[in-house]
Structure 1
Amino acid sequence: MQVTENIPQDQGMIQSPPNNQKNNWVDHLDELAKNMVHKKGYKTPNDLAKAYLHAEKLLGGEKISLPGKNANAQDWDYVWQRLGRPENIEGYQFNVPSDFPLYDQDFAKWYKEKAYQAGLTKKQASLLHDAFVDYTIHSQNNHKITEQIKRQELEETLHQEWNKDYDVNLQIARQAAKIFVDDQGVLDMLENTLGGPAMVKFFYKIGQTMQEDFLKGPKGSLSKSYSPQMAEAEITRLKGDPDFNRKWMDKYHPEHQQTIQQMTELHRLAHNHPLDIK
């Protein structure tokens, strides 16, 4: 007779826990923590621990707490110092470009004071400083190019209109302008910025009128405002004037004597001696 021994089927083997028991560690957490675990998808306590270590690494070591809404300047000073602001404005060191003569040291000092008040670090303050300087240099170069273009356009326009009288007429205009503005920089601005050819022609008309009034008036009536350069320019202009030359050459012309007086007085003003007419 064969004896059959009943051996329990679960003896000698390790059974896996039911699926509903694999994450039973979560059951020990409160509801807020449980929701976080399920949302993040952590399967084991090891997953949760690794996530914590990663977060701690990202946050770094030392923390800086921001002051509250009622914080005073001293509270913020502590924050700025910890973030990298220098101890005083002398801690800001800027690169001064050698090719920028307009650089203002007083303005740089003012900027350091404002950067310090704003809590800027050395790197932040230097970045803004260099950006401002670069922008200013770029704008200055563009302004120079624009002024050169305007001057070229001015010369081309007046050359076309005055032709061979360009140099003489321009000298008359500039001498007239100097009576009102004795500054070459301002004169250039008047020519290039405030009207171009129209402004130059305006002063030319003033100078021309002054010449005519002077030559028609009493001897030396405008000598104080009539420069040697203006007189020389008028001599050159009259020599190229056919109508004046006709009166000059024709001693029977009713205005012949007047032309002699004009040229004599112009030579006196230009060369400090009258014209020698034989």
Structure 2
Amino acid sequence: MTDQSNPPANPPGDPGQTPISDKPFYDAWGDDLKASATIVNAKSAEDVARMYLNAEKRLGVPANRLLVVPDKVDDAEGWGKIHAALGRPDTVEGYQVQLGENASDADKAFVDKFLGEAHKAGASPAVVAAAIGVLNEATAQARTDAEAADKAAAEATRAALDKAWGDKAKVYDSEIPALLTQLGEELDKTLPEGARLGDVVEKLNAEGMGNSPTLLRLLAHLADSRAEPGLPGGGKGGADRGMTPDQAGAARRALEADPVKGLALRDRTHSLNKDVLAERNRLLAIETGKA
């Protein structure tokens, strides 16, 4: 007799029974997923999900934050995404570079070119800021060095001219700027408006020519030749204007080589000996700074 009190849960052919499928859980997935050994070896979709979470834990970041390095160096779009993710701004202006206060036009042109190349190479703002910082330091140091060199050159020139000119240096200090101004004005009358010198003294100093002993000696000689006769320091016959040690030395050597005065200087019995000797001693005192 059959026990009817405990019938089978799902008798064969019962429509409530869930049939067991022979198809894998990924059967409806794309072919690329079906071709993955990782998917094929998984036992269920839950296994796949767990593998995904474990991968994120190993990588330390979610998959959507991972960067994919392009396979080709000329993949501009791919590398652009990498550079953008690492902080490169969309445009060169995004670097917001700050140059030093005294940056020259050449400095600005160099930086503009540098920023363009840096942007192409994918440089981040931090990298560009560091490079510009080095540039600012270098240009500031170069400017300091140049100022120190100019000061040293000016001091060396002053010392050389003080030695060559002696007390007459004060005369030239006032005459040379006045002479340059006069020459500049004379030249400006012959030049078109845009080519005029203006303040020629200021321009010569800016060009470094104000520290040229050769130029200053030439100008001193020109100042002597243009001085008006009869006035203190006049040109021809202007002995009262004074002589520089260099001029006195040249005059002394000329006196000693003069056929008449030289002979009188060496011959104590000569009628002009005392006068020539006195003149030579006066020149020698100026030459040696003992006048």
With normalisation by structure 2, the TM-score equals 0.47
With normalisation by structure 1, the TM-score equals 0.48
